[in-house]
Amino acid sequence: MPSKDWRRVPVGLDAGKWVTRGNLKTVLVIVHTVTTGQRLLEAIRLLDSDLRVQTLFTVAEDAFNNGVEEFVQGLGGLLLPWRQAVTERFDLAIAASFGSIHEIHAPLIVMAHGASFNKLVPRPPGRRVAGARGTYGLDAQRLLRDGSVIPDAIVLPHQTDLGRLAIECPQAVPSAEVIGDPIYDRLAVSRDDRALYRRALDVWPRQKLIAVSSTWGTESLFGRGDLVNRLVRELPASEYKVVALLHPNVWYMHGSWQVRAWLADSVRRGLQIVPPNDDWLGVLVAADWVVGDHGSATLYGASIGIPILLARFPADDVAPSSPQGELAAIAPRINRYQRLATQLNRAASTLKPEHYQRVEERITSAPGHFHRNMRRLMYRLMNLRQPASIPVAAPAPMPFLNPYHGG
């Protein structure tokens, strides 16, 4: 007999007795982390307004599970316990990470949880690595189980990713589809309203906006050094506004209180912080520079032509043939011994449009078409006719940051 925390509605043998709408296609959203959950929203929002589809959520085990249940509850999503999810059958499942997904009974889509496939598979601590390290998300270790490909569809942003996949896991190539990149598409349709995003962030006419982007981990911008504090200490607030974009894993592994405590002095000096559940795309659209590391936000900034300065870049952890590898080859590094204003101005004055064109071209080979391509894939796997409407990328929402508390 199921335990009391199992849901009897809207799935299960006797669910038909209780539901208001029946005979629905069921879609399971497998959320490993807040970051993957945010990425999956780009796909599942394509199911909006379809009265034939019921969307459910479940949390798969991950080292970064902190905050995931609260994230789903904040959406108002119906959350199935994992041990129940693996006993049910669904018409479609979608994930942006790999842990335990082989246990789900459904046609399965796996998509990247960031910009392209850039990071190499981490080295196991204390162990020697046999052979070359694969690219996370394209490697056989994650895509295969007992010799079979786990996902029914692997969503790729770019045609070149097919070639990379063919090298690392040739068995998975028949399951791969080039769909595009949702975040690039949303940034692209937002660029014409850059002045509105700057106004929403209270950037004064003569001020410059610096987006400081940090991924998680000890090799990240925030994990090494005190650059955030240096920026707000060295650059006059009358001329520069500094906004921090920290990876959600930073917040959820250390705690919101601790992150704000670490940055308290910087906030008092004018730093603003984007909270982990808030949309950060508008900050990139408004930015004059991105000071970052090997995280996705830095790469997305480059893809829309923003001058980039790299504060951290652990080359040993990044695939050289990836878009992030392309960026590292051309972006200037922060010099700790030079004035920051000098470095920022040099990066802006020497940037030419063609400098980042190659990076932009590597982000997606289907610009403007992710949402159309993704919906087509989802409905095909559900064996359901698509709605008559044509899905398009939504502009980034206008950002709002509390000037007194940093977000």
How do residues 130-184 score in pLDDT, each as one tens digit? 567 889 999 999 999 999 999 999 999 999 999 999 999 999 999 999 999 999 9
When pLDDT is cut at 50, 70 and 90, the band that residue 4 belongs to is low
The residue type found at 44 is: I
Residue-number span of the structural domain to which 255 is assigned: 184-363
Q: What is the CATH number of the domain that holds 331?
A: 3.40.50.2000
Give yes or no for residue 403 having a pLDDT over 90: no
Give yes or no for residue 293 having a pLDDT over 50: yes
Sequence-separated (6 or more) residues with CB below 8 Å from residue 307: 288, 289, 290, 344, 347, 348, 351
Pairing of strands 108-110, 92-95: parallel
Average pLDDT over residues 255-284: 95
Same domain flag for 190 and 333: yes
- Output the CA torsion sign for 125, 126, 127, 133: positive
Q: Which of 170-184, 310-324, 374-388 has the lowest mean pLDDT?
A: 310-324
Same domain flag for 192 and 335: yes
Three-class SS state of 164? helix
Same domain flag for 226 and 166: no
Give CA separation, 224 vs 114, 157, 269, 295, in Å: 22, 30, 20, 14
Same domain flag for 226 and 122: no
Same domain flag for 202 and 161: no
Same domain flag for 155 and 189: no
Query: Which of 207, 256, 228, 225 is CA-nearest to residue 66?
Result: 256
Q: What is the pLDDT of residue 316?
A: 87
Three-class SS state of 225? coil
Q: What is the CATH number of the domain that holds 374?
A: 3.40.50.11820
Same domain flag for 238 and 155: no
When pLDDT is cut at 50, 70 and 90, the band that residue 407 belongs to is very low
Give yes or no for residue 233 having a pLDDT over 90: yes
Total domain count for the chain?
2
Same domain flag for 22 and 148: yes
Residue 407 lies in a domain: no
**Beta carbons of 351 and 310 less than 8 angstroms apart:** no
Give CA separation, 22 vs 13, 63, 89, 197, 305, in Å: 13, 36, 16, 43, 48
How high does pLDDT run on average in the chain? 92
Same domain flag for 222 and 311: yes
Give yes or no for residue 382 having a pLDDT over 70: yes
| Rounded distance between C-alpha atoms, residue 356 and residue 70, angstroms | 38
Same domain flag for 189 and 141: no
- Output the CA torsion sign for 305, 309, 312, 317: positive
Average pLDDT over residues 29-40: 97
Average pLDDT over residues 51-67: 95
Q: Which of 9-13, 92-96, 359-363 has the lowest mean pLDDT?
A: 9-13
| Rounded distance between C-alpha atoms, residue 389 and residue 44, angstroms | 16
Same domain flag for 262 and 145: no
The DSSP-derived string for 386-405 is PPSS---PPPPPPP---TTT
| 312 or 382, greater pLDDT | 382
- CB burial of residue 80 (10 Å; 0-12, 13-18, 19+): buried
Pairing of strands 289-292, 272-273: unpaired
Same domain flag for 339 and 193: yes
When pLDDT is cut at 50, 70 and 90, the band that residue 351 belongs to is confident
Residue 398 lies in a domain: no
Sequence-separated (6 or more) residues with CB below 8 Å from residue 373: 177, 178, 179, 180, 366
Give yes or no for residue 69 having a pLDDT over 50: yes
Residue 344 lies in a domain: yes
Tens of pLDDT, residues 80-97 = 999 999 999 999 999 999
Residue 319 lies in a domain: yes
Residue 242 lies in a domain: yes
- Output the CA torsion sign for 266, 268, 269, 273: positive
**Does the model's pTM come out above 0.75?**
yes
Give yes or no for residue 247 having a pLDDT over 70: yes
Give yes or no for residue 41 having a pLDDT over 50: yes
Percent of the chain with pLDDT over 70: 95
Q: What is the pLDDT of residue 321?
A: 85
Residue 243 lies in a domain: yes
When pLDDT is cut at 50, 70 and 90, the band that residue 1 belongs to is very low
182-190 and 34-44 helices, crossing angle to 10°? 70
| Rounded distance between C-alpha atoms, residue 362 and residue 353, angstroms | 15
